[in-house]
Copies of this chain bind each other. A is one copy, B any other.
């Protein structure tokens, strides 16, 4: 049986409170010789403080809870979550916090899930890519627990950290239009995610305001995953009347498009330009290198983490932030092919 503070007290024949003070440099002072012997005995007995008991009283766990998006299988393999997780873990490290990942967020009934999130194990919550219809935020909001979202949330008064989707899409379309593209398709993500919705909206308004050509059939859902990007691209690119560029709601979709182009013998960027969104690590390594919109995801995660921890520490809640994106031009974009334009 593990040694407790009581065992130390008994061994030294002093009171439990004194031991506590000695170990913590506690709120009251303890003579040096006592402090020394307490530490000595603690070491001898192999004493390890029990954080559950401590947290029960102090109401602080120094643990940050993460609620991952429920929209993927193999969640942890999603580059977006990986980027977010990296930012969170790094900042948590700096803030002397640990990180608890909640599982089964998609399986549990909402109320049961809320029980998990609010059961005292974490000081605060970070939602990563939460679906906009999730009743979870409403539930959590009623409790005193600080929380933030990474990615856009469909609510006003949420501490949310996201990229500026409209600006990002603007960069992408401006780039393509600048190269001379007028026929541009869009593969969108998951309609439940606000970021996805905002990107599609922005895309539509860019198309309109710039007078580009994009029939409704060229705007398709690709679920933020590779193989759906492939499938949809196969359809769009398989027809006679095809676009000269495709703007994808994230990089993974873009990888699917690249592959589809390959299967169809369509060369990128000569016959088709492809733009992604996120700039995941891989974007640089694929061939051709993917032109994409770099989302400062790790930074967003860092800011979100810092913000919630500050609230936990007693600061007054600040505002969320919307950070701008950057265009990263690689080799998947080029001016459109003459014949393709002519043939249309």
CB A292 to nearest CB in B, in angstroms, measures 14
Contact across chains for A103 and B114 when beta carbons are under 8 A apart: no
**Given contacts A56-B52, A76-B86, A89-B76, is CB(A101)–CB(B104) below 8 Å?**
no
Main secondary structure of the interface of A (DSSP, over half): mixed
Question: Residue A101 contacts which of B98, B118, B121, B287 (CB distance < 8 angstroms)?
Answer: B98
Question: Residue A142 contacts which of B46, B116, B142, B143 (CB distance < 8 angstroms)?
Answer: B46
Interface residue? A109 (CB, 8 A): no
Interface residue? A44 (CB, 8 A): no
The count of chain A contact residues (Cβ–Cβ below 8 Å) is: 50
Q: A69-109 CB contact bits vs B (8 Å, 1 = yes)?
A: 00000111100001101100110110011111111100100
Q: State which of A160-168, A179-187, A278-286 sits at the interface with chain B.
A: A278-286
Chain B residues with Cβ below 8 Å from A281 are 77, 282
Contact across chains for B100 and A104 when beta carbons are under 8 A apart: no
Question: Residue A75 contacts which of B49, B89, B287 (CB distance < 8 angstroms)?
Answer: B89
Interface residue? A342 (CB, 8 A): no
CB A340 to nearest CB in B, in angstroms, measures 24
Interface residue? A50 (CB, 8 A): yes
Question: Residue A120 contacts which of B52, B82, B99, B115 (CB distance < 8 angstroms)?
Answer: B52
CB A308 to nearest CB in B, in angstroms, measures 15
Separation of A143 and B2 alpha carbons in the complex (Å) = 8
Q: A112-152 CB contact bits vs B (8 Å, 1 = yes)?
A: 00111011110000000000000000000011100000000
Question: Residue A121 contacts which of B51, B85, B92, B93 (CB distance < 8 angstroms)?
Answer: B51
Interface residue? A55 (CB, 8 A): yes
Interface residue? A48 (CB, 8 A): yes
Chain B residues with Cβ below 8 Å from A102 are 98
The 5 closest A-B pairs by CB, nearest first: A287-B287, A51-B119, A76-B86, A93-B103, A99-B101
User: Which A residues contact B (CB, under 8 angstroms)?
Assistant: 2, 46, 48-53, 55-56, 61, 63, 74-77, 82-83, 85-86, 89-90, 92-93, 96-104, 107, 114-116, 118-121, 142-144, 255, 281-282, 285-287
